[in-house]
Structure 1
Amino acid sequence: MRTRRSTFVLAAAAVAITQAVLTGCSKGTETAASKLPERTCFDVFDRSDLGPLVGNGEQVNVSGPADMQLTAVRRGATCSVDVDGKDRFLASATRQPLEQSFFWNAQLIKPPADPLPLGDKGIVYDTGARVLLVCKGSQDSFQVELSLSGSTDQVEKGESRPLFTRLMKKFVEAGRQQTRCGV
C-alpha cells in the first residue's frame, strides 16, 4: 500500500524524468527557420514558407540580391539558403530575349514532373519547380525563367510537390512585378 509520501516521491520523479527527456530532445534541434530573416529571397518568402525545407540547424546563411529586378544587362538573380553549410533552398530568376529558349529536359526528371498551370509554361517535381513567363511589353519583350529547388529531406513523403506549388505561386506573382514582366 502506497503512502502519500511515496506517491509524492513517485510523481516528483516522473516530472523530473519528463523534464530531462524533453530537455534532451530539444538540444540541437532548434529549427533553422527561426534564424531566417522575417522575409527572404527577393522579399518573397517568409519564415513559415521555407521552414519545411530548411529543417534544423545551428547556422543559417542567406545569400543573394535584395530583388530580382532584371534588365538586359542584369540577366539573373539567385538567392540561396544553407543550414550548417548544406544547401537547403535555391530561388533563381533568369531573363533572356524572346528568340532564345529555355530548355528543360523533363524526361530526365525522376519521378516524372507534373505540369504546373502557372505562367506560360510550368513544371513541378519532387525537389523543385520551374515556370516560364513570356513578357511582352510596350517598350521591351523578353522571357523569364523562375526556378525553385530545395532539400526535401525534412518534408513528409508526398508533400514536396504541393509545397513547391505554393512557393511558386508566390514567386510568380513577385516575379511578374519585380521583373516588370508585360509592362
Structure 2
Amino acid sequence: MPSLPKNICWDGLFTGESVGPLLPEGKNARLLMPADPTFDVFEKRSSTYCKIFVTSDLRESFLAWAERRSSGKGTGWNHWGPSTTRIAAGDEGFVWDTGASAVILCERPDLGGKPGRFKDQKYVELALIAKDAANTARTRESLTTLIKQYADFAKRELKCANGA
C-alpha cells in the first residue's frame, strides 16, 4: 500500500487507512484537488473532485466526485452500469465491483436566485471510483461504508436544509 496522509479529501473526509486498501501497490501516492479545496457544488462551481494517483500520472486510482444535477432518486440518474447493487446511502445508492454512488436531495433556499444556481438543480450525485480495487466482498463493503460517510458529509458541508 502506498504512503498516504492521515486525512484525505476536503479537510479529512476520508482517512488514508480507509482508502488505502482500495489502492494498488506503489510507493507514492499523489493527491489532486481543485485549487480551492472547499467542498462546494452550488456557489462557485457545479462539480468537484478529489483524485489519488498511484501507478500513473495519467489515470487516477481513486476518485471521489460530486456534481449538482436536476434529477434524483428514482429517475435513472445512476449511469454506472447493470452490475450495480442498490444500497442504503443518501437518498438512493448503488455499489459495484470498483465503485459506489449516491444521490442526495439538497435544498438550499438561502441561495435563491443567485447566479450560477439553477432552481431545478437541487440534487447532488456523489461517486467513488477505485479502478484498481480487487473485485471482492470486502471492497464492496468498504465502498458502501465510504459512500454513506460521503453522503452524510455532503449534506452537512453543503448546508442542505434537509441535511443530517
1:165 aligns with 2:144: yes
Contact 1:113 1:123 in 2 (8 A): yes
Q: Write out per-residue CA displacement over residues 84-119 of structure 1, whole angstroms, 9 at most, x where no aligned residue.
A: 3152100001113469x773245x33xx21111121
How far the C-alpha of 1:60 sits from its partner, in A, is 1.2
Distance of 1:174 and 1:67 partners within structure 2: 12
Contact 1:67/1:178, CA 8 A, preserved across alignment: no
- Count of residues paired in the alignment: 146
Residue 129 (structure 1) aligned with residue 100 (structure 2): yes
Return the offset for 1:156.
6.5
- Cα gap change, 1:71 to 1:83, in 2 (>3 Å): same
1:102–1:181 Cα change, 3 Å: farther
8 A contact 2:128–2:147 mirrored in 1? yes
Report the aligned-residue RMSD: 2.4
1:15-70, Cα deviation, whole Å (9 max, x unpaired): xxxxxxxxxxxxxxxx20xx222111222011111111123212211101323122
On the 8 A contact 2:22/2:139 being kept in 1, the answer is no
Q: In 1, distance between residues paired with 2:108 and 2:42?
A: 13
Unaligned runs of 5+ in 1: 1-30
> In 1, distance between residues paired with 2:87 and 2:71?
21
Relative to structure 1, the CA distance from residue 143 to residue 124 in structure 2 (aligned partners, 3 Å threshold; closer, same or farther) is same
- What residue in structure 2 maps to residue 44 of structure 1? 13
Q: Is the 8 A contact 1:72 1:96 kept in 2?
A: no
Q: Which residue of 2 aligns with 1:79?
A: 50
For 2:139 and 2:20, the matched residues in 1 are separated by 12
Give unpaired runs (5+ residues) of structure 2: 112-118
Q: When the two structures are superposed, what TM-score results if normalisation uses the length of structure 1?
A: 0.70
**Larger CA Rg, structure 1 vs 2:** 1
Residues 1:90 and 2:70 are matched in the alignment: no
CA–CA distance in structure 1, aligned partners of residues 15 and 146 of structure 2:
10
**1:132 maps to amino acid:** V
- Where 1:55 maps in the other structure, the secondary structure is coil
1:181 shift after superposition: 2.0
Q: Determine if contact 2:32/2:50 at 8 Å carries over to the other structure.
A: yes
One-letter code aligned to 1:96:
R
Q: Report whether the alignment pairs 1:177 with 2:156.
A: yes
Cα 1:152/1:163, change in 2 over 3 Å: farther
CA contact (8 A) 2:24 2:55 kept: no
Q: In structure 2, what is the Cα distance between the partners aligned to 1:98 and 1:73? A: 20
Pick 1 or 2: higher relative contact order, CA cutoff 8 A, min separation 6. 2
Counterpart amino acid of residue 149 in structure 1:
I
The corresponding residue for 2:129 is 149
Letter in 2 for 1:169: K
Query: Higher helix proportion, which one?
Result: 1
